[in-house]
Structure 1
Amino acid sequence: MGLELYLDLVSQPCRSVYIFAKKNGIPFEFKHVLLFKGQHKTEEFAKVNVLGKVPALKDADFTLSESIAILLYLARKFKTPDHWYPSDLQKRARVDEYLSWQHVATRLCGTKVFLIKALAPIFLDEPLPPAKLNGALEDLNGVLKQFEEKFLQDRPFIVGNEISLADLVAIVELMQPVAAGCDVFEGRPKMAAWRRRVEEAIGKDLFLEAHEPILKPKDMTTESLPPEVKEQLKQSLLKYLK
């Protein structure tokens, strides 16, 4: 049995795994887990990931969850080019630094803006107070300032002259608010230039392929959801946005 990746490209952690695997020619079977149909909450999926989240990896009898762990596993197993996760001690430490920081920074804030602007109108019966979005945007702007000043600085990429896992994870996180109509690159020429370099390093076709589900959403609807699944997702959203 070959490598299986359980993904839904609406999710930014899934996109980073998908892009990395495709860019590096890693052979895998794409198992599409539709979040908007509640497929991540089924008993069948729990056999792969009891946490009920994507992405997930299955390699024969070995299973793994959490996108960063999956990226590092793929990089090591398939011996991908060194620039992704450098063997140089200090460069690798810079990658680790960003990957450790992003969970409560770019990912958290970008996801919150996306949920408020794109998903809340779909799942909730009434709009959230404007103050909720304003607060999320304020938090995101603070994180973007930190990203520019601390992690990007004046370098072409986060670690130096070549793309790394840090850049890959960062770009998919920052595309999340973009998909909701909040262009985080507008008025930030340094970040905009970085985005262009990252897209070119990934390949524009692959970049667009991976982001199409959120830039041109087709399945973001609750019409086909069973009532109990819709309510479960609604409560999860409300809990997240408290």
Structure 2
Amino acid sequence: MSLKLYYDLMSQPSRAMYILLKTSKCNFESKLVNLRQGEHYTEEYEAINRFKKVPVIDHNGFLLSESVAIVKYLSRENIIPRILYPEDSKSQARVDEYLEWQHIGLRLHCSMFFRVAYLNPVFFDTTPDPKQVQSYKKRMLNALEEFNSLWLGHNEFVTGNTINVADLFAAVELEQPRMAGFDPAEKYPNIATWWPKVRQHFNPYYDEAHVILNKIVKKNVSKL
């Protein structure tokens, strides 16, 4: 089997795929794509992914983008453990239910807060607009409240009492606003209880994938 993963660990879905493949003991070839240097906009990378995004896998010449589609494909190919993307129809449907919700339910709002509060000021050397930051923070808080109460308020993990890819996808998204100075675990008790379990389950690869992110968090905290 030949499997290549194109990724950048500053990308949440990239981190999820990296951790998932490492946890699955998959001997994949790492293909780093530096987003800050615009490597995803090169003609060479466009030939790999016409959407110019990460992550992408190349499985024996079969190119596939979009992390959720990749997870489902890897499961069908028996590359990742069934326990992480269950085979049972109803259990799998619960995981899919969360993954469908996450795009707009959680990912959008965490990502946009991170962008306006941290990323844009760094890229464009500007001061964050307080009103804009507060507006996106409010939307993020609403999303986190839903995740904390509607997804984590009933079970030990996102879709039940067994950990799976839904937990991993959620966890990496919640790491992103930490770089902008907001830690969801400090405000939401269900998240605070659940999050360490996810990190522990996927370690040492979870921490490995977040080395750069945690350095940024530590650096920003030291400025306060």
Q: So what's the TM-score if we normalise by structure 1?
A: 0.85
- Whichever residue aligns with residue 211 of structure 2, its letter is E
Does structure 1 residue 208 correspond to structure 2 residue 219?
A: no
Taking the aligned partners of 1:112 and 1:212, their CA distance within structure 2 comes to 22
Q: Percent identity of the aligned residues?
A: 40
Q: Summarize the alignment of residues 74-93 of structure 1 with structure 2, pairs less than 5 Å apart.
A: 74-93=74-93
Q: Which residue of 2 aligns with 1:46?
A: 46
Q: Which residue of 1 aligns with 2:220?
A: none
CA displacement, residues 200-233 of structure 1 (integer Å, 9 cap, x when unaligned): 1112x2111111122224xxxxxxxxxxxxxxxx
Taking the aligned partners of 2:21 and 2:13, their CA distance within structure 1 comes to 13
Q: Is the 8 Å Cα contact of residues 21 and 80 (structure 2) preserved in structure 1? A: no
CA displacement, residues 34-92 of structure 1 (integer Å, 9 cap, x when unaligned): 00110000011111101111111111221011111112212221253322111222221
Q: Which residue of 2 aligns with 1:11?
A: 11
Q: Is the 8 Å Cα contact of residues 7 and 31 (structure 2) preserved in structure 1? A: yes
- Whichever residue aligns with residue 160 of structure 2, its letter is G
Size of the aligned set, in residue pairs, is 216
Q: Is the 8 Å Cα contact of residues 34 and 40 (structure 2) preserved in structure 1? A: yes
Gaps of 5+ in 2: 217-224
Q: SS state of the match for residue 37, structure 1?
A: coil
Q: Which residue of 1 aligns with 2:20?
A: 20
Q: Summarize the alignment of residues 117-196 of structure 1 with structure 2, pairs less than 5 Å apart.
A: 117-196=117-196
Taking the aligned partners of 2:125 and 2:172, their CA distance within structure 1 comes to 29
CA displacement, residues 121-145 of structure 1 (integer Å, 9 cap, x when unaligned): 1222432321111011100110111
**Structure showing greater relative contact order (alpha-carbon pairs closer than 8 Å, 6 or more residues apart):** 1
Aligned-residue CA RMSD (Å): 1.4
Q: Is the 8 Å Cα contact of residues 145 and 188 (structure 2) preserved in structure 1? A: no
Taking the aligned partners of 2:161 and 2:200, their CA distance within structure 1 comes to 13
Taking the aligned partners of 1:41 and 1:159, their CA distance within structure 2 comes to 36
Taking the aligned partners of 1:12 and 1:79, their CA distance within structure 2 comes to 21
Q: SS state of the match for residue 57, structure 1?
A: strand
Q: Is the 8 Å Cα contact of residues 40 and 53 (structure 1) preserved in structure 2? A: yes
